[in-house]
Amino acid sequence: MPNTRAEKLTTLFLAVFSTGLAIQLALDGMSRSQWFGAFVAVAGSLAAAAAVRLWPQPEPAPLRKR
């Protein structure tokens, strides 16, 4: 079943971890291309977290009688 608690926690961890890592590396000094890569990584993890929470649950298929 999609949208389980584990999926939500995993994407939340991914978003927090990638954001924290990008901030830490930015404080150490990064070039423009590294800034862009960090931005894409953070945006991707936030998009994944939002998709897991907002994507609608599929309707269960009706059972056929034999």
Residue 56, token pair as written in the block: 């609608």
Model pTM score: 0.64
Residue percentage of the chain with pLDDT more than 70:
95
**Residue 1, pLDDT above cutoff 50:** no
The answer, yes or no, to whether residue 39 has pLDDT greater than 80, is: yes
* AA identity, residue 24: Q
Distances from the Cα of 25 to the Cα of 22, 47, 48, angstroms? 5, 21, 22
Rg for the chain, CA atoms, rounded: 18
